[in-house]
Amino acid sequence: MVNPNEYTTYHFDSVSRYAPGGLPAVNIGDHLQDGRYEILNKLGQGGYSNVWLARDSRNNCKVSIKTITASDSSNNRELSIMQYLEANSDTQHPGYKHIPRLLDHFYHNGLNGRSLFLVLERLGPTVELVRCQATNWRLDLSLSRQISRQLILAVDYLHDRGIVHGDIHVGNVLFCISDTLQLESDSFEPDAYEVTKYNGGPIDQGVPTHYVDSMWYYQNVCEKLTEVKLVDFSNAFFISDPPATSETIRTQLPPEMLFKKPLSKAIDIWGLACTVS
């Protein structure tokens, strides 16, 4: 069993996430799926996943790859939801373009178990990060209105498809980024730090060789971003088949979760209102 207290470097990750049933060990420069995808940098992380920037050699483009813990990879609900959205898309709906595309998926058998890898279109920073870059931590009023309008369209599209997102907040709203701005933001080397133990001994099997901090986008890039997409369907569900409970950030917990009432698409309206307010 991995003991985090033996390791010297923590940063924003922890070796405790890399254990049997946990995250797969991914390092910069790794080639996945018979060499098709090359890992370039880290885009972000969540409680049960990491998101990596990768180059797709087959289509000559950059993509996002979401790596999911082995324990959450079997019968994965996010994969089912995204496959359903791909198979039942309505390109004429104005909210369609504010939902990310699932491009590919595959499973990786590693030391920590069999993990699901979701290949998604490459997107930029979160609204949360861009807000941190803004003057007085506030977005321009015009931009805030644009984001709010786009999120309303995204939620309307999901509900029209019979899907509840279930976890709407500024960390799950990502800006689209143009090819030109991609080149500008991707020019920086990954912030990678070697994983070491206090005693200098070898690291445990299944632990990556380096911690990698999530990419940072500078203000000159953030100021040019206007279009967003609603991401992360790990807590999504079909309106016709709601779960007994779900997860979201505590500051936006809907009344249904607080009072243990049946879940419905109303929780998205609550999350939407909290996010745009």
Active site residues: 167
What is the C-alpha separation between 127 and 67, in angstroms, rounded? Answer: 22
Using the CB atoms, write b or e for 111-136: b if 16+ within 10 Å. ebbebbbbbbebbbbbbebbbebeee
SS (H, E, C) 149-190: HHHHHHHHHHHHCCEECCCCCHHHEEECCCHHHHHHHCCCCC
User: Cβ(123)–Cβ(231) under 8 Å?
Assistant: yes
Under 8 Å CB-to-CB from 2, ≥6 apart: which residues? 15, 16, 18, 19, 204, 206, 207
Rounded to whole angstroms, the Cα distance separating 123 from 215 reads 12
Asked if 37 contacts 30 with a C-beta cutoff of 8 angstroms, the reply is no
CB 118 within 8 A of CB 92: no
166: left (phi over 0), alpha (psi -120 to 50) or beta: left
CB 268 within 8 A of CB 193: no
Distance, CA of 129 to CA of 257 (rounded, Å): 27
Cα–Cα distance measured from residue 88 to residue 162, given in angstroms and rounded to the nearest whole number:
10
